[in-house]
Structure formats: C-alpha cells, structure tokens
Amino acid sequence: MPYVNIKITKEGVSKEQKEALIKGTTQLLVDVLDKSPATTFVVIDEVDTDNWGIGFEQVTEIRKAAKK
C-alpha cells in the first residue's frame, strides 16, 4: 500500500507524461517490493516556477538565465 508523491515544476507536463509517471512508478513498486497496484497511489504535484528554489534562486530565474 505505497503512497508516492512526485513534485515537479509546472512547465507543460502533458496528460500522457503524467500517465507514464504513474505507470512507471507503480510498476517499480511491484517489481522491487511486490506491492499490489490496487493499493498503490501516485500523486503528482506541479509547482509554479516562482515557488521552487534551488541554489538560492527561483526556477523562474534559472530558466531565464539558461535561455540567454
């Protein structure tokens, strides 16, 4: 009965990509720990790039700098 929470930045992740994350994570828990898929939850949180910081910087600013 695992619960997996995936936090990623909100940058145009498609429904199909979310499905791939859900399927892949669930399969991993089946393969590694023999968990039951019926009670395996995967919850994806998409976080605004203003709200995620790394190395003192907002991801919004990191993305801007990367484009220059």
37 is catalytic: no
The verdict on 65 binding a copy of itself (CB under 8 A) reads no
Q: Give me the 7-46 binding string for a copy of itself, x by CB under 8 A, dash otherwise.
A: xxx---x-x-xxxxxxxxxxxxx-xxx-x-xxxxxxxxxx
Q: Is 4 strand, coil or helix? A: strand
d(CA 17, CA 10): 13
Give the CA angle between residues 38, 20, 34 to the nearest 5°.
35
d(CA 42, CA 20): 11
The verdict on 64 binding a copy of itself (CB under 8 A) reads no
Instruction: Name the site residues for a copy of itself (rule: CB under 8 A).
Output: 1-9, 13, 15, 17-29, 31-33, 35, 37-47, 50-60
Task: Write out the catalytic residue numbers.
Answer: 2
